[in-house]
Amino acid sequence: MEKLQKGDKKLLNAWAFFDWANSVYTLTIASSIFPIFYSALFISEVKHIEAFGMVFKSTALITYVTAFTFLIVAFTSPILSGIADYVGNKKTFMKFFCYVGSAGCIGLYWFSIENIHLSLLFYFMGLIGYWGSLVFYNSYLPDIAFPEQQDAISAKGFSLGYVGSVLLLVVNLAMVMSQDDGAAKMQMMRYSFVMVGIWWMLFSQYTFYVLPKGVSSGHKVTKSVVFNGLKELRVVWQELKQNLRLKRYLIAFFVFSMAVQTIMLVAVYFGEEEIAWANNSEKTTGLIISILVIQLVAILGAFLTSRASSKFGNIKTLIAVNIIWMGLCFYAYTMKTPIQFYFAAGFVGMVMGGIQSLARSTYSKFLPETDDTTSYFSFYDVAEKIGIVIGMVIFATIDQITGSMRNAILFLFIFFLMGIILLFRVPKEEEVSK
């Protein structure tokens, strides 16, 4: 097809449509049906399992595996982005991770405690496929959109993601709720995982068709090129030292993202274990409804945050959103009833989409003039992933030692407080130019 120019509406929409394709993973696998499915595999009174030669609390095990996956992504993404930048074909890598993730989702159909290691491998594939593709997806943003377009198209991507993922979740919810027997409900959940994999793979094709391949260099991958990404990260870090605004923002992002991503990844496990549901049926229905509430409110949240940032500025808006997150940590520590959980879900939805969308577009707007956007977004993603690893390990360790996820989620308050303090230290544009 004819190459579309930067800022072209069709190009922007095709980029944003990838959120429609891959967000079903974050909703069904990471946030709702899989956590419910995983928790249901364990007897309510016995929440421990032996794996890798150790005995883990079930919630701590999945949190540790998640943290390990993010550690792998953090180390491999700069290497792969360096190769993509050198060869000039970032779309190929984006496709690879998309298909690995899709296959992992389909593989979750066979998830079982008896084959826990193989089962966790499928979980690992889905997680690494999703996050691995994002480094290349995010790096396209400054390539396809002008600075004044980036907040809006980033928010549109997240909104499309929420609409698409909620649409599929409603279908999956109907499938699960159509069954009365517990085993039949579990089978419907397994079918849901397969549907996510197919949806992800199928709808990505439009994005892959429209997005440019990249700036082709004609170079071939050699041994020296493999670690080129790590060298580029060092270059980016040296450049960051000369860019006070971007450096301070990235440090703040590292800290508050650590807490945001951890909460998003453990929210349903928390609701399953810490909330006093009347019975298992109410628990399953209640958890899925709360996720629907989060996703639907998040569409409004992303829109309102985008509007607020245009009126008050990105940094002030991010500070306000972090203050809300901080309050939610205290509230989560005290809540016990389903009604309280639904109330918290509404607030989480309001600030979840907004902070993700605004954090990404703020970083993009703060970038210096450069053609090497992949390396800068690789650095952004590495910071995010390492932050998630630290947040998840701290959360899992507190959960494992104290036996309560309440203590772990209260601790995350510290990260939001530090994030707010660091955001106040980000200089304004006029201060930088002096």
* C-alpha to C-alpha distance for 351 and 321, rounded to whole angstroms: 6
Q: Which of 49, 195, 43, 68 is nearest to 121 (CA)?
A: 68
Residue 4 φ/ψ, nearest 5 degrees:
-85, 145
Residue 258: is its pLDDT beyond 90?
no
Please compute the mean of the pLDDT values over residues 289-293 and round it to a whole number.
Answer: 80
* C-alpha to C-alpha distance for 409 and 389, rounded to whole angstroms: 15
Of residues 344 and 375, the one with the higher pLDDT is: 344
Helices (H), 335-428: 338-366, 373-402, 405-411, 413-424
Please compute the mean of the pLDDT values over residues 317-341 and round it to a whole number.
Answer: 89
Residue 274 φ/ψ, nearest 5 degrees:
-100, -15
Place of tokens 């909620």: 166
Predicted TM-score of the model (pTM): 0.76
Residue 421: predicted pLDDT: 93
* 74-78, 181-185, 201-205, 301-305: range with lowest mean pLDDT: 74-78
Residue 366: predicted pLDDT: 82
The ranges assigned to domains in the chain are 9-212+227-432
| Neighbouring C-beta atoms of residue 98, cutoff 10 Å | 26
| Residue range 19-65, pLDDT digits in tens | 899 989 988 888 778 888 888 887 555 577 887 878 888 878 888 89
Kindly report the average pLDDT of the chain as a whole number.
82
> What's the pLDDT band for 107 if we cut at 50, 70, 90?
very high
Q: What three-state secondary structure class fits 237?
A: helix
Residue 121: predicted pLDDT: 94
Residue 119: is its pLDDT beyond 60?
yes
| Range 9-212+227-432 classified under CATH 2.30.40.10 | no
Residue 12: is its pLDDT beyond 90?
no
Q: What three-state secondary structure class fits 295?
A: helix
Q: What three-state secondary structure class fits 6?
A: coil
Query: How many CA atoms, within 13 angstroms, populate the side-chain half-sphere of residue 347?
Result: 18
> What's the pLDDT band for 194 if we cut at 50, 70, 90?
very high
286 with 36: CB under 8 angstroms?
Answer: no
* C-alpha to C-alpha distance for 325 and 323, rounded to whole angstroms: 5
Task: List, in sequence order, every residue forming a beta bridge with 57; answer none if it has no partner.
Answer: 48
Residue 44: predicted pLDDT: 56
Please compute the mean of the pLDDT values over residues 177-195 and round it to a whole number.
Answer: 89
Share of the chain above pLDDT 90, in %: 15
Residue 425 φ/ψ, nearest 5 degrees:
-90, -5
Of residues 166 and 230, the one with the higher pLDDT is: 166
* C-alpha to C-alpha distance for 303 and 299, rounded to whole angstroms: 6
Residue-wise over 61-94: b if at least 16 C-beta within 10 A, else e?
bbbbbbbbbbbbbbebbbbbbbbbbbbbbbbebb
Residue 206: is its pLDDT beyond 70?
yes
Q: Which of 18, 32, 5 is nearest to 288 (CA)?
A: 32
Residue 189: is its pLDDT beyond 90?
yes
In single-letter form, the type of residue at position 300 comes to L
| Residue range 272-286, pLDDT digits in tens | 888 888 887 788 778
Inter-helix orientation angle 9-24/147-177, to 10° = 30
* C-alpha to C-alpha distance for 67 and 65, rounded to whole angstroms: 5
Of residues 162 and 321, the one with the higher pLDDT is: 321
Residue 249: is its pLDDT beyond 50?
yes
Residue 432: predicted pLDDT: 44
154 with 141: CB under 8 angstroms?
Answer: yes
| Residue range 362-409, pLDDT digits in tens | 888 888 776 666 677 778 878 888 888 898 899 888 888 888 888 888
